[in-house]
Every structure is written in structure tokens, then in C-alpha cells.
Amino acid sequence: MADTLVRTSNAFLDEEWEKPKKKSTSKQGNNKYAKGSAPLQKRIQGLLEGLGQSVADVCASNLIFTTSKSSSHEDYNFGFAGTFWPFHQAVIEIVKPKVIITFGNGKLHSPFGFLKSMYCDESNLNTFETIPAGHGERQCYGFKANINGRSTAIIGLPHLSYYTPNKESVLKWMKEFSGI
């Protein structure tokens, strides 16, 4: 967190992410993807470019500052979401986003579920929208909330570790819903 305000690199463009470990015991060789070429990095790049946004100019963070393969991973503790929320509130106050896009939109233990529990109540239920994600039975969700005195669209996508959102209908809806 201390490096956030002075950081000049972008995790989605400038970092080499690790490749999954294979079950084989043979030598793996290079265990990292080239900068910006891991599957999740490419999905995020494609999403933001599809929305007409520059990847380098978008503020991004994990809701909790633990990365893991899944929310069931032993190092993942969703209970930390509330602990880290004051940090995110401070960033939101500085950035003043028109839209917050979450990767993960389950009812429990997801960034979207966390924000929904905090900001979606009877006063804005009329803004809640659902569209098909174009990925099996999965859905994309959105609602509008007043955060720090500003209307902010909150969009929940299935997690991009397994979902590619670059579908014309999804991108169109995201642009229209958020006003970007």
C-alpha cells in the first residue's frame, strides 16, 4: 500500500506473471509469461480496450491484497475485505471513478457481493440490472450507487480468470450502463 501513490508500473502491462505449475516433474524452463501476456492480463487489456479505455490510465486494485488461484485457496481470506476498505475509499475519493468493475460477482465472497452489501439498498434497487454474460448460465450485474457524493456505476463480471468479457453485447451494455 505504501508504494501505491508512487508506483509507475502497470500490473496488466509491465509485469511478468507466473505460469501455472504443471504436475510433471520434468524441468519447466521459463516459468513466467512475457510482460503483459498472461491470460488474465490479456483479458483485462481486451476488456479495457473494448470499453475505449487506456489500460495504463485505469486505476485497479484487488479488494483484498492477497492474490490466489481462487477464493477457496488457503491464503485467501475474504474477511479482510472490510479491513482494507478504508484504503479503497481513500483511493476512490482521489480517483472519482464513474464506474467500478469487479472481477467476481457471486452473491457471497466476491468483490461485487461486498459492494452490493454496502451500497445497494431500497433507494437504488431500481438501478439494478442483469444481462447474460455469454458464458454458460453466468450473468453480469450492475447497479448505481452514491459513493462520496457521486453517482458511480458498479458492474460485476464473472471472474476474468475464466471469463472473457469481450462480447459485443456485454461491452455495449457496460458502456451504456456506466456512461463511459
Supply the DSSP string of 128-139, one letter for each residue. Answer: -EEEE-SSTT-E
| Banded model confidence at residue 14, pLDDT cuts 50, 70, 90 | very high
Report the helix count and the strand count for the chain, using DSSP H and E. Answer: 4, 4
7 closest CA partner among 62, 77, 60, 49: 60
| Banded model confidence at residue 17, pLDDT cuts 50, 70, 90 | very high
Place of cell 495504463: 56
- What are all long-range contacts of 30-38, with beta carbons under 8 Å and residues at least 24 apart? 36/12
Average pLDDT, the chain: 85
Q: Lowest-confidence range among 24-28, 138-142, 161-165? A: 24-28
Indicate if the pLDDT at residue 142 is higher than 80.
yes
The pLDDT of residue 70: 45
All residues at 6 or more sequence positions from 13 whose CB lies less than 8 Å from its CB, including other chains: 35, 36, 41, 45, 55, 56
Integer Cα distance of 104 and 70 in angstroms: 10
The pLDDT of residue 29: 65
Nearest-10 Cα torsion for 144, 54, 20, 76: -30
CA 63, 64, 70, 72 torsion-angle sign: negative
pTM, 2 dp: 0.85
All residues at 6 or more sequence positions from 1 whose CB lies less than 8 Å from its CB, including other chains: 65, 87
The pLDDT of residue 28: 57
Integer Cα distance of 141 and 78 in angstroms: 20
| Banded model confidence at residue 72, pLDDT cuts 50, 70, 90 | very low
Tens-place pLDDT, residues 40-51: 999 999 999 999
Return the exposure string of 117-132: e unless at least 16 CB atoms fall within 10 Å of the residue's CB, then b. Answer: eebbeeeeeeeebebe
Please state the rounded mean pLDDT for residues 94-119: 90
